[in-house]
Structure 1
Amino acid sequence: MRSFASLSALCCVLPSVAAVTIAAINGNAYISPLKGESVSGVEGLVTAIGEDGFYLRSSTPDSDDATSESIYVYGSSAVSNVTVGDVITLSGKVTEYRSQTAYLYLTEITSPSSIVIKSSGSDVIPVVIGKERSPPTEVYSGLDTGDVYAVPNNVSQISVANPVLKPELYAMDFWESLSGELVSLTDLTIITKPNQYGDVFVRGNWDVSGLNEHGGLTMTANDSNPEAIKIGTPLDGTSNRDDSKVGDTVEDVIGVVQWKFGQYMVLPLTALNVTSSNNTAATPSTLVAKGTCNSLSIGSYNVENLAPTSSNVNKIADHIANYLHGPAVMCLQEIQDDSGPTDDGIVSANLTLSTLADLISAAGGPTYSFTEIPPLDNADGGQPGGNIRVAYLYNPSIVRLRNENIGSATDSTEVLPSAELTYNPGLIDPTNEAWDESRKPLAAAWETLDGKNKFFTVNVHLSSKGGGSSLQGDLRPPVNGAVEKRLAQATVVANFITTLLETSPNAKILATGDFNEFSFVEPLKSLVENSGLREVDDIVGIPYTERYTYIYDSNHQQLDHMFISRGMARNVKVEHVHVNTWVNYDESGSDHDPSVGVFDVCQVPVGGEGVCKGKKKGVRRV
Structure 2
Amino acid sequence: MPSKKSARLAALTVAAVCSAASTVALTSPAHADSVRIHDIQGSTRISPYAGEQVADVAGIVTGVRPYGSSRGFWIQDPNPDADPATSEGVFVFTGSAPTVAVGDSVLVSGTVSEYVPGGASSGNQSLTELTRPTTTVVSSGNAVPAAKVIDARSVPAAYSAEGDSAASGSINGLTLRPEKYALDYYESLEGENVQVADTRVVGATDPYTELWVTVKPWEHRNRRGGTVYGSYDSQNTGRLQIQSLGKAADFPKANVGDVLKGATTGPLDYTQFGGYTLVANQLGTLESAGLKRETTRKQSRGELAVATYNVENLDPSDTTFAEHAAAIVDNLRSPDIVSLEEIQDNNGRTNDGTVAADLTMQKLIDAIVAAGGPAYDWRSIDPVNNTDGGQPGGNIRQAFLFNPERVSFTDRAGGDATTAAGVTKVKGAAALTVSPGRIDPANEAWDDSRKPLAGEFVFRGRTVIVIANHFASKGGDQSLHAQYQPPTRSSETQRHLQAKSVNAFVKDILAVQKSADVVTLGDINDFEFSGTTELLEDGGALWSAIKSLPRSERYSYVYQGNAQTLDQILVSPSIRRSCDFEYDSVHINSEFNDQISDHDPQVLRFRP
2 CA distance for matches of 1:366 and 1:308? 20
1 CA distance for matches of 2:248 and 2:406? 56
2 CA distance for matches of 1:344 and 1:114? 52
1:232-258 deviation per Cα after TM superposition (whole angstroms, max 9, x unaligned):
231x56654263322222242110111
1 CA distance for matches of 2:85 and 2:93? 23
**Do the aligned residues in 1 keep the contact of 2:540 with 2:573 (CA within 8 Å)?**
no
Match for residue 526 of structure 2 among 517, 522, 538: 517
Are the structure 2 counterparts of residues 242 and 406 from structure 1 closer, same or farther at C-alpha, using a change threshold of 3 Å? Answer: farther
1 CA distance for matches of 2:83 and 2:267? 19
2 CA distance for matches of 1:350 and 1:591? 24
2:369 maps to: 361
2:47 maps to: 32
Are the structure 2 counterparts of residues 365 and 62 from structure 1 closer, same or farther at C-alpha, using a change threshold of 3 Å? Answer: same
2:255 maps to: 245
1:611 maps to: none
2:169 maps to: 156
Give the secondary-structure state (helix, strand or coil) at the position aligned to 2:507.
Answer: helix
1 CA distance for matches of 2:494 and 2:56? 54
* Letter of the structure 2 residue corresponding to residue 104 of structure 1: Q
Following TM superposition, by how much is the alpha carbon of 1:470 offset from its aligned partner in structure 2, in angstroms? Answer: 3.2
Match for residue 218 of structure 1 among 199, 215, 228: 228
Give the secondary-structure state (helix, strand or coil) at the position aligned to 2:351.
Answer: coil
1:290 maps to: 300
1:288-314 deviation per Cα after TM superposition (whole angstroms, max 9, x unaligned):
21232xx21111111112223421111
1 CA distance for matches of 2:535 and 2:133? 55
Are the structure 2 counterparts of residues 137 and 400 from structure 1 closer, same or farther at C-alpha, using a change threshold of 3 Å? Answer: farther
**Do the aligned residues in 2 keep the contact of 1:197 with 1:233 (CA within 8 Å)?**
no
177-186 or 259-268, larger mean C-alpha shift: 259-268
Following TM superposition, by how much is the alpha carbon of 1:502 offset from its aligned partner in structure 2, in angstroms? Answer: 2.1
1:443-497 deviation per Cα after TM superposition (whole angstroms, max 9, x unaligned):
2222224x3x222211111112233343323444434353211111111001111
1:545 maps to: 552
2 CA distance for matches of 1:48 and 1:289? 55
Following TM superposition, by how much is the alpha carbon of 1:411 offset from its aligned partner in structure 2, in angstroms? Answer: 1.4
**Do the aligned residues in 2 keep the contact of 1:335 with 1:389 (CA within 8 Å)?**
yes
* Letter of the structure 1 residue corresponding to residue 89 of structure 2: S
1:200 maps to: 211
2:341 maps to: 333
2:422 maps to: 414
Match for residue 257 of structure 1 among 268, 271, 284: 268
* Letter of the structure 2 residue corresponding to residue 72 of structure 1: F
Match for residue 98 of structure 1 among 94, 105, 116: 116
Give the secondary-structure state (helix, strand or coil) at the position aligned to 2:423.
Answer: coil
**Do the aligned residues in 1 keep the contact of 2:62 with 2:144 (CA within 8 Å)?**
no
1:136 maps to: 156
Are the structure 2 counterparts of residues 190 and 18 from structure 1 closer, same or farther at C-alpha, using a change threshold of 3 Å? Answer: same
Structure 1 unaligned regions, length at least 5: 1-5, 11-15, 146-153, 602-622
- Alignment coverage as a number of residue pairs: 567
Following TM superposition, by how much is the alpha carbon of 1:168 offset from its aligned partner in structure 2, in angstroms? Answer: 3.0
1 CA distance for matches of 2:258 and 2:94? 36
Are the structure 2 counterparts of residues 486 and 389 from structure 1 closer, same or farther at C-alpha, using a change threshold of 3 Å? Answer: same
**Do the aligned residues in 2 keep the contact of 1:17 with 1:39 (CA within 8 Å)?**
no
2:15 maps to: none
2:497 maps to: 488
2:582 maps to: 573
Match for residue 307 of structure 2 among 299, 323, 329: 299
* Letter of the structure 1 residue corresponding to residue 174 of structure 2: P
2 CA distance for matches of 1:7 and 1:339? 49
Give the secondary-structure state (helix, strand or coil) at the position aligned to 2:244.
Answer: coil
1 CA distance for matches of 2:284 and 2:147? 19
1 CA distance for matches of 2:131 and 2:312? 44
Following TM superposition, by how much is the alpha carbon of 1:321 offset from its aligned partner in structure 2, in angstroms? Answer: 1.4
Following TM superposition, by how much is the alpha carbon of 1:227 offset from its aligned partner in structure 2, in angstroms? Answer: 2.3
2 CA distance for matches of 1:437 and 1:563? 24
**Do the aligned residues in 2 keep the contact of 1:140 with 1:226 (CA within 8 Å)?**
no
Give the secondary-structure state (helix, strand or coil) at the position aligned to 2:163.
Answer: helix
1 CA distance for matches of 2:108 and 2:458? 79
**Do the aligned residues in 2 keep the contact of 1:373 with 1:406 (CA within 8 Å)?**
no
Give the secondary-structure state (helix, strand or coil) at the position aligned to 1:416.
Answer: strand
1:342 maps to: 350
2 CA distance for matches of 1:97 and 1:39? 17
Counting only pairs closer than 5 Å after superposition, residues 356-395 of structure 1 correspond to structure 2 as 356-395=364-403
**Do the aligned residues in 2 keep the contact of 1:141 with 1:171 (CA within 8 Å)?**
no
**Do the aligned residues in 2 keep the contact of 1:421 with 1:445 (CA within 8 Å)?**
yes
**Do the aligned residues in 2 keep the contact of 1:313 with 1:589 (CA within 8 Å)?**
no
Following TM superposition, by how much is the alpha carbon of 1:274 offset from its aligned partner in structure 2, in angstroms? Answer: 3.7
Match for residue 601 of structure 2 among 594, 598, 605: 594
463-472 or 28-37, larger mean C-alpha shift: 463-472
Q: Structure 2 length normalisation: TM-score? A: 0.85
1:564 maps to: 571
Q: Structure 1 length normalisation: TM-score? A: 0.83
**Do the aligned residues in 1 keep the contact of 2:65 with 2:97 (CA within 8 Å)?**
no
Identity of aligned residues (%): 34
2:116 aligned with 1:109, yes or no? no
**Do the aligned residues in 1 keep the contact of 2:100 with 2:137 (CA within 8 Å)?**
no
* Letter of the structure 2 residue corresponding to residue 265 of structure 1: T
1:613 maps to: none
Following TM superposition, by how much is the alpha carbon of 1:94 offset from its aligned partner in structure 2, in angstroms? Answer: 2.9
2 CA distance for matches of 1:114 and 1:564? 64
* Letter of the structure 2 residue corresponding to residue 593 of structure 1: D
2 CA distance for matches of 1:126 and 1:330? 51
1:270-289 deviation per Cα after TM superposition (whole angstroms, max 9, x unaligned):
4x354322332213203x21
1:203-235 deviation per Cα after TM superposition (whole angstroms, max 9, x unaligned):
23x45522222222221102132421111231x
2:543 maps to: 534
Match for residue 437 of structure 1 among 431, 448, 464: 448
Are the structure 2 counterparts of residues 426 and 119 from structure 1 closer, same or farther at C-alpha, using a change threshold of 3 Å? Answer: closer
**Do the aligned residues in 2 keep the contact of 1:85 with 1:124 (CA within 8 Å)?**
no
1 CA distance for matches of 2:318 and 2:333? 22
76-85 or 248-257, larger mean C-alpha shift: 76-85
1:151 maps to: none
2:75 aligned with 1:66, yes or no? no
2 CA distance for matches of 1:530 and 1:359? 42
Give the secondary-structure state (helix, strand or coil) at the position aligned to 1:581.
Answer: coil
Structure 2 unaligned regions, length at least 5: 1-20, 26-30
2:322 maps to: 314
**Do the aligned residues in 2 keep the contact of 1:459 with 1:511 (CA within 8 Å)?**
yes
Give the secondary-structure state (helix, strand or coil) at the position aligned to 1:497.
Answer: helix
Are the structure 2 counterparts of residues 437 and 58 from structure 1 closer, same or farther at C-alpha, using a change threshold of 3 Å? Answer: same
Are the structure 2 counterparts of residues 47 and 530 from structure 1 closer, same or farther at C-alpha, using a change threshold of 3 Å? Answer: same
**Do the aligned residues in 2 keep the contact of 1:291 with 1:328 (CA within 8 Å)?**
no
**Do the aligned residues in 2 keep the contact of 1:248 with 1:274 (CA within 8 Å)?**
no
1:134-181 deviation per Cα after TM superposition (whole angstroms, max 9, x unaligned):
223562453299xxxxxxxx95344xx522212233322121110111
1 CA distance for matches of 2:529 and 2:402? 31
Give the secondary-structure state (helix, strand or coil) at the position aligned to 2:431.
Answer: coil
